[in-house]
Structures are given as structure tokens and as C-alpha cells.
Amino acid sequence: MTANKSDRVTRETAATRHVGFTVNGQYHEFRVGSGGIEISPTHTLSWTLREVLGLMGTKVSCDSGACGSCTVIMDGKAVLSCKVLTIECDGKTITTIEGLRDPKTGALDPIQQSFIDHTAFQCGYCTPGMIMTAKAFLNENPQPTEEEIKDALSGNFCRCISHYQVIRAVMSVVEKEGEHGR
Amino acid sequence: MGDDYRFIGKATQRRDAVEIVTGTALYLDDLRFQNLLHGKVLRSPHAHALIKKIDKSKAEALPGVKAVLTWQDIPDWKGGTPRKLRVLDKKVRYVGDAVALVAASTEEIAREALDLIEVEYQVLPAVLDMDSALKHGAPLIYDEFPGNIIPGGTIAFGPNCLKGVVMGDVEKGFAEADVIAEGTFGYENIPNALPPEPVGAVAMWEEPNKVTLWSTSQAPYMDKGTLFHVFNRQVEIRCIGNHVGGSFGTKIMCWQVQAYAVLLSRATGKPVKVMFTKEEHMAAFTLRIGSRIHARVGMKKDGTLTAIHGTWYVDSGYYSFTTQAQVAVGSGELMIMAQCPNWDLKNIIVATNRNASGSTRGFGGQELKCSFIPILSLAMEKAALDPFEVLKKNYVKPGGGYFWRDGNWYQYRGIDYSAAMDKGAEQFGWKEKWKGWLTPTAVNGTKRLGIGVGVHGNADVGEDSAEAYVQLDCNGTATIFLCAAEHGTGQKSNYAKLVAEVLQIPLDRISMTPADSLITPFEFGPVGSRGTYAIGSAVINAAEDVKRRLFEFVAPKLGAEPQDLETVDGVVFVKGYPEKSLKWRALGYDRTLLGHGRFEPDFTVCNCMMSFVEVEVDTETGKVTLLRVVLATDVGQIIDPQGLEGQLNGALGSAGIDSAIFEETILNHSTGHILNANLMDYKWRTFTELPAMEHVVLETPMPTHRFHAVGVGEVATSPGPSAVLMAVSNAVGSWLHEYPVTPDRVLRAIGKVGYSARGGKK
């Protein structure tokens, strides 16, 4: 199911429609259709990530764009993968929770480590979505205030009320980055 | 405070931390199965109807459909208390009731097949609230329950299950009272605890009568027992637990979705997964019980209670499984917080044609207190007493007692929680802020501030049996055999800490079996804050037992007596003579030691949580803003500080404090449809609306636990809602009688809008 980008160009010249995108550094291409191994026009990105690519870290809770559990990063922005159709992802670059570790060393991303250090989770179901939202936000705004972090995470549903520990975890990354920068 | 432990009380990393932050923690929907089929449920559009005819032929003909089951196709499997509700029935009793089950090769095909099932209904008149259900001549939801009253008591709590509280002489008590207050208050907004992970199950049937179940349950071993009876005691059941995406007491009972998966697997011979959508989770999985109480309370001028008399009306929805248990526990919990010599507190459990109520944290006590504390407050108001002082005075103290769920009287042998309450009041600044009843603490233009206080505690901390094994290996490691699914409290990590402390080995030398009823001994499930005392004690006892066996084995080799030995880091030595030692390796590579631990139920101790809240009410818009929460408790000994903090913060969500402010399940009272069964329309607290949250946690050693601890996780939510109702009433200067305190209700209380602002509902 994976292919080189150059292959894709030749295959696109044929009448069949394809969709190709990069997930966690790896390029994937699929034929669009209704066959078992094809991407249906009705498939959401969250479905494709989980059921086709086996990336179970992206959690689906409400499946209707209200809870933030399924958040992934697409071309640098946090998106709700249950509200994105897979066929809309052609040419996109996507990072899921599985792609946050350093690909060479396997080291955790500082946000992941900070969530561990602050026990910023209880049941953990919303955690991947929280981390991806925070990651995209800090990429855009590396030195936010606490209020800005709260705003950024306001679409993420957490029922255990780990909010206070999550804020501390994200603020701690901000502070460390700040020290690093100086 | 407390002893200086090596692991207990220290901040340690959750065992599953890396899995959780990297997305590799496996929840039910993440598990993969060969040849898996997907199950879906056809649901009733009517609140009450008879199924006259079902034609499933078109659905069965759809390619990919492997089974379509209706009430005619299944064995006579029933659940509920008493066991009267068929898994699929010819009658539907609420909007969303299961009509048919489909298994297909994909979810899409299963969904499509639902649309092809043709059902002919004979619609019956429905009863959508307690008042209409209890009316003379009301339509009956079950022929077996005349008057729509569900019989009290559950055999799970024994033949004398507590069905209410009757003791002393209430007339005498009222005669002795200085003030008597009477009123009706309800907590009837049936909020949903709403864990992020929906409920679901995967079943794999093996002929002739075996099934293996993976599910979102927080209590896999108990499922084995519950389902054994549902399946007419004819099926051998193995239950496997995994990561659970939140529960808040709801996922102790997933029998319906489990039964659907089992029936479909039995019909197809393949593993079948049924995952509820979020909408099904919100409209067809259990809600809180609806609670309303009419009561009289007698009180002396000093706050001493003299009599409590009343009737608690409990709306269970279309069936009950745990409601009788919640009534029993809730009644006992009221006695714990309201020590009074004279009682006549009855209850009526009512069936209505709405989605069922069931287990939720607070388990009867939260619901009862949310209705009762306001009536108690009317008495305090009459006597011009400070509610903090009265709640503190009347909370059970050593020497006091209460009836508990089995109908027996228990003499309380725990600690006096007054110190924790005082410390909480001091932290909150209660004495400085309290200005008297129905008086705001401050008025700034259109904004009014108000304060409130609530209290809750239960004797569930020692409820039900627990068993565990701990196995030692010669390489210095230990394995805990325990049927515990991690549902978010972090208790699995805490059990490893307890074992590490007993055996004095590093945490990374401890493994745990999966929660699998085929491997582990009995465990009831992490409910009622029982994780620390009940489950924890079983684990500790297993570790102590295996340590004893280790010492018995090693003692002759060291020429010592077992009681003279100690072990640290996999080395056994004679106390005071560290050079006289042997490594666990002395067991030999071909030997393991197994310790067995059991906990017997103990209802003589309870926990305690007091909540102080400060709210701001906007008298122009009616909006209530929660400004500050102080929670005060005593846990005996902190096991894990960060885990405890998380559990206490949980006071807000999962149908806790927020169920007094904006959380509610909105039922259309003419059609029976739930109008907000999705995460857009059901209100939930976001990051931008967090109040200041402070915890006062004392550590007064508890005599009952090896490490002197008591659990408090469950009860963090329970005292909050009534405290909010009190605070808002104080802020606006007039009693609010219903939850949640939505803007329309606030504006009505201050006379800014008319009585019927909330269409259709009184």
C-alpha cells in the first residue's frame, strides 16, 4: 500500500483516483473506491489511521468533532481526524501520537515526558489528543501564557479532570524551553 | 506525617505512563481479533410499545450480514433486580430500547442492515416521570410491577438488605425539636458521568457453552458473576479486562452490551464486537438515578438532630439493576452524615419509560444528599445555625453508628474527621465569609457572591471481598495476580507500591497479570473507594503471606527462626546480623512461592469529604460561575500524591459539582427522546472555565489498614452539588429547589422571569 511519490505521479495519469499522504514520516498511497482495501470517500482520517494503518493511539470518543480525542497534526495544524475525510488528505503531512518520539533515538517528546512527570492523565483516553493539541500549539506559540494554553486546549474533553495537571505539564515545557532559549 | 516509607507516599511514575503518552495503551477498541464481526443494535423510536411484527428478511439478505437476532431468536436471558428484563423483549420500554441485533463483516454493513429491518409497533401510552408513573391507573411498564413500583432490596446484599431507615420514635423526636423544617427538593437532572471511552464488548463463543469476553468493564471478575445469572447459569464465562477509558462507577455494569456481543457470537461462531456510539452511550447506557425527597427534619437550637421523617422517591428509568443497592448504600450514607436517634425514612423506586439509571460514583448517597441537605438547611436556617458547624457536629464520630447495606447496625471505629473539616474551613475562610442564610457574601453591582458547604462519606471503603496472589521468583521478582482493570485511578500502580513496600524490592521488579478471570482469584471491582482498603489489603495480605513462606523456607538454612528474618532487595537476613544472609536465589531455579491474600468486608470504617464552594451569580443573565472549591479530607496515609490530586480534582466532572451548575440529560417529557445525547449539546467543563481548586488532606493514621490508609476517590464528587445549591441560594437570597442552577432557574428564583420559562417541565 505504500509507494514512492514518483510512482504516484505516473499512476495519477491513469483514470483511477488515488490519495497519498505522509504519516509519521512514511508516505502512503491508496486507491479511492469501495473495495475492501480501498479508501472509501466516506472514510474519516481517524478511521484510516486506526483501521488501515493500525495507529491505535488516535482515540475516537464522540466521532463528531466535539471532544478533541482524535486530534492529530496535519501540515502543522491540530485537526480533528474524525472530521477530516481521508480523501481530503492528498499531499498532506500528518503526525500522530505514535510519531512524536524522536525517530532516531526513540526519546519521548518533551511534552510526553512532561505529561508523565506531572501525572497529567488519569484514564488516559483523552491524553493523545491533549498532547497533539498542545504540540501543535507550542510549535506555533512556544512562549504562551497559561491563559493561552487553556484557550488552545478548550476543545479537549477530559472527564477525570486532569486539566490542572495538564496545564502544569504544558507550562513546565514552556518554562524549560524559555530557559533553554536564554 | 505518617511513617517514613520507601515507596508509599512518594511520587512515582504510573506503570502505564509511557503507554498512555505514546498512544500504545490498549483500550477495548484498540484490540485486534481474527475474523471479527461487528455488531449493531436497532433501537426503538417509541418510549413504550409492543412489537407486533419484525421482518428481518431484507436485512439478512444483505451481503456481509451474518446474523440478525430479535426477541424470538434468543434464549430467555434476563437481567435486572429482580431479574425481569429480557435482553431482547417483545416490548420496548424507552426511546432507544434494543429491538434487534445485527452482526456483519463491517460496521457499515451492520448499520445498513439496521435500516432494512421492518418493525411494526403497537404504541402504548408512556410514563415519562415519577408523577405520571405513580398516578392511579397509569400504564404499566412491567406486568410484574404494579403501580410501576420496583420492589426494594437486592439479594446481593443479603436477605435483610437495607430498604430504608426506621429507628427510635420520630414523634418523640419532633416533640423534642426546637425547630422543624419540611420541604421537597429534587436532584432529577439524571446527569451522565460520561467517560470518554464509550461502552462496548467483544465476545468469542465456543460451543457448546463457553464464552470469552473482553469489555470496557472496570470489574471483569464481577461480570463473570453478573452474566452467569443473566445467562441462566448455563454458560461458562471468562472475562478479560484492559485499559478502561474512564468509568466513574458506570462501567461496573455493562451487562447489556456484553449480552449483545455474546448472543451475536453464539449465533455466528465468530468473535463479535459491539461498541456503542457516543449517542448510544448517552441515550442507551445508564444515567444517574433521579432523586426527590419530601421530608421533615427536627433539630435543637444547638444543631442536634432529633428526628428525620420522609419519603425518598427514586426514578430508576425503565429498569433497575443496581438501584436497590444504591438505595441501601445511600440510606446508610445519610445516617453517616446525619447522626440522629429517630428515623422514619422510606423510599419508593419508580420505573419510568426513559433510559435506565444505574451505578454512578456517589452511588445513591450523592443523589439522596443532593435532595436532603437542602431540607436540613431549611432547619438550620430556622435555627440561624452555621451549616459548617451543623454538618461537622452531625457527622459520625467514634462510638456512633449506622445501619449499612446488609441491614445490620455497625458501630463506627474510624477516626473523628472534625480536624479535617476545621482545616478545610480555615483554608476556605468560611468563618470570615459566612454572613448568614440567604445572604450573599458580597454584592458587586449585578454580581453576587455566595458560599456553600456539603459533606459526604461512606462505609463502602471496606465493602465486598477481594482476593489476590503474590508469587516470588528466585531472581528477586514478584508477580501480582489480581483481576483489576486500570480505569484511571492509578490503583494498579499503587498495588505494586504496596507489594514493593512489604517485600522491600524496587518497583521495576514487580509484574502484574492481566485482569483475566481465568488466571486471577476473585475481585469485586474498584468501586466505592474500596480500592485502597479492600483491594489493597488483599494485595498486602498476599505479599505478607508469601514473605512468611519465604522466611519459613530460608530460616533453617540460616539457622534462625522465621520471625527473626527480614528481606531487602531480594536478600533475606537475620535482623541485626546483615552478614547472616541468603539471596532469594536460594529458592532454586525450580521453585516459586505463592502467597494468598483475602480481604473480608468491613463496614465499621468510613471516609469523609467536605466541599466548600464559592460562586458568583450574575443577576442580569442568571449565569452561575464557580469561583473556588476547597476539598477537605483525611486519607490516613497518602499512597500516591499525584494520583490523589487527580482523583480529588475529579470532583468537578463526571456528574459531580457540575451536575449542580450546568450538567443535565434533557428528556423531552412528551416524546421520551433525550434531546442532548451528544457532546455538543450536553454541557461539560472546559479548560477555560476552571475554578481555583484547593485540597486539604490530613494523614491521621487509620488503625484498619497495614499502611493506615483509606480510599477517597469515589466521594470527591458527592458533597459538591448540594454545596453549590446552597451557595447560589445564599447569593440570590432565595432557595433554589432543583438542579442544575441554569440561568432560567436563577432568574426565576430572583423573580426576573415567570414560572414556566422551562417549557414542559415544572
CB contact under 8 A, B487 and A64: no
The answer to whether residue B269 is domain-embedded is: yes
Question: If you average pLDDT over every residue of chain B, what do you get?
Answer: 96
Kindly state whether residue B151 falls inside one of the protein's structural domains: no
pLDDT of residue B654: 86
Asked if B173 is an interface residue toward chain A (Cβ–Cβ < 8 A), one would say no
DSSP conformation letters of B605-672: ----EEEEEEEEEETTT--EEEEEEEEEEE-SS-S-HHHHHHHHHTTSTTTSGGGGTT----B-TTT-
Contacts of B84 (CB under 8 A, 6+ apart): B78, B142, B144, B145, B319
Q: Do A159 and B654 touch (CB under 8 A)?
A: yes
Considering only CB atoms, which chain B residues are within 8 Å of A137? none
Residues of chain B contacting residue A168, judged by C-beta atoms under 8 Å apart: none
Three-state SS at A150: helix
The pLDDT of residue A6? 46
pLDDT at A34: 79
Q: Which among A61, A119, A128 has the least Cβ separation from residue B23?
A: A128
How far is B665 from chain A, CA to nearest CA, in Å?
16
Interface contact flag, A154 B25, Cβ < 8 Å: no
B92 and B214 co-located in one domain: yes
Q: Domain end: B245, B260, B283, which one?
A: B283
**Measured between CB atoms, which of A97, A115, A150 is closest to B687?**
A150
Residue B411 falls within a domain, yes or no?
yes
**Of residues B541 and B756, which shows the higher confidence score?**
B541
Residue B52 has pLDDT above 50, yes or no: yes
- Determine, for residues B688 and A154 on separate chains, whether the beta-carbon distance falls below 8 Å: yes
Q: Are residues B308 and B424 in the same domain?
A: yes
- Separation between Cα atoms, residue A20 and residue A89, nearest integer Å: 7
In the predicted structure, residue A103 carries a pLDDT above the cut 80:
yes
B642: chain A residues, CB-CB within 8 Å: 118-119, 165
B761 or B411: whose pLDDT is higher? B411
User: pLDDT at residue B72 above 80?
Assistant: yes
- B352 and B447 in a single domain? The answer is yes
d(CA A73, CA A129): 10
Query: What's B528's domain CATH number?
Result: 3.30.365.10
Q: In what order do the strands lie in the sheet with A18-23?
A: A26-31, A18-23, A93-95, A71-74, A77-80
- Name the pLDDT band for A2 (thresholds 50, 70, 90): very low
CB-based contacts of B24, cutoff 8 Å, min separation 6? A56, A57, A98, B18
In a domain, B306, yes or no: yes
Q: Specify whether B477 is located in the same domain as B543.
A: yes
Structure confidence at residue B754 (pLDDT): 80
Inform me whether the pLDDT recorded for A10 exceeds 50.
no
CB A20 within 8 A of CB A5: yes
Write the pLDDT tens digit of every residue in B102-147: 999 999 999 999 999 999 999 999 999 999 999 999 999 999 999 9
Q: Are residues B608 and B680 in the same domain?
A: yes
Check residue B362 and give its pLDDT: 96
B 206-235 → A contacts, CB under 8 A: none
Instruction: Please check the confidence at residue B505 and state whether its pLDDT lies above 90.
Output: yes
Examine the fold and report which residue of B225, B249, B283 is the final residue of a domain before the chain moves on. B283
Instruction: Tell me the per-residue pLDDT of A13-38, one tens digit each, with 9 for 90 and over.
Output: 445 799 999 999 999 999 999 777 78
Model confidence at A177, in pLDDT bands (50, 70, 90)?
A: confident
Residue B321 to residues B96, B150, B357, B359, B364, Cα–Cα distance (Å): 18, 11, 9, 9, 13
**CA dihedral for B507, B513, B517, B519, sign (positive or negative):** negative
Residue B333 has pLDDT above 70, yes or no: yes
Q: Which residue of B has its CA nearest to A147?
A: B688
Task: State the nearest Cα–Cα gap between B643 and chain A, in angstroms.
Answer: 7
Number of domains into which chain B is organized: 3
- Run of H or E including B97: none
Read off the CATH number of the domain in which B120 is found. Answer: 3.90.1170.50
pLDDT of residue A15: 53
| Res B557 pLDDT > 70 | yes
Question: Considering only CB atoms, which chain A residues are within 8 Å of B278?
Answer: 61-64
Checking DSSP bridges between strand A18-23 and strand A93-95, what pairing results, if any? parallel
Asked, for residue B183, whether it belongs to a domain, the answer is: no
The verdict on residue B173 lying in a domain is: no
- The answer to whether residue A5 scores a pLDDT higher than 50 is no
3-state helix, strand, coil split of chain B in percent (to 5) is 30, 25, 45
Q: Is the pLDDT of residue B471 over 80?
A: yes
Residue B498 has pLDDT above 80, yes or no: yes
Contacts of B490 in chain A (CB under 8 A): 119, 122
Residue B756 confidence (pLDDT): 56
Residues B402 and B479 in one domain: no
- Look up the ipTM and state it: 0.96
Q: What is the pLDDT of residue B242?
A: 96
* Residue B669 maps to a domain: yes
Using 50, 70 and 90 to split pLDDT, how confident is the model at B655? confident
Residue partners of B88: CB distance under 8 A and separation at least 6? B69, B70, B71, B74, B98, B99, B100, B101, B263
pLDDT at B762 over 50: no
Residues of A in contact with B14 (CB under 8 A): 116, 119, 121
pLDDT for A8 beyond 70? no
Query: Residue A14's pLDDT is what?
Result: 46
Residue B634 CA to residue B702 CA, distance in Å, equals 10
If asked whether residues B314 and B453 sit together in one domain, one would say yes
Q: Maximum CA pair distance of chain B?
A: 87
More confident residue, B428 or A13: B428
DSSP state of B57: H
Same domain assignment for residues B305 and B434: yes
Q: Spell out which residues of chain B touch residue A159, defining contact as CB-CB under 8 Å.
A: 193-196, 246, 248, 653-654, 684
Mark whether B496 and B456 lie in a shared domain.
no
Q: Which residue of B has its CA nearest to A34?
A: B108
Interface of B with A in 237-276 (CB under 8 A): 243-248
Give all domains of chain A, ordered by start, each with its CATH number. Answer: 5-98 (3.10.20.30), 110-181 (1.10.150.120)
Chain A closest CA to B279's CA: distance in Å?
A: 8
Which tens digit of pLDDT belongs to each residue from B579-612? 999 999 999 999 999 999 999 999 999 999 999 9
B570 and B594 in one domain? Answer: yes
Q: Collapse the DSSP code of B298 into the 3-class scheme (helix H, G, I; strand E, B; otherwise coil) and give the result.
A: strand
B346, B203: one domain: no
Note down the domain range covering B584: 17-23+464-599
CB atoms within 10 A of CB B701: 16
Per-residue pLDDT at B345 exceeds 90: yes
Residue where one domain finishes, among candidates B541, B576, B599? B599
pLDDT in tens, A71-95: 999 999 999 999 999 999 999 999 9
Indicate whether B555 and B698 sit together in one domain.
no
User: Which chain B residue lies closest to A148 (C-alpha atoms)?
Assistant: B688
Q: Is B131 contained in some domain?
A: no
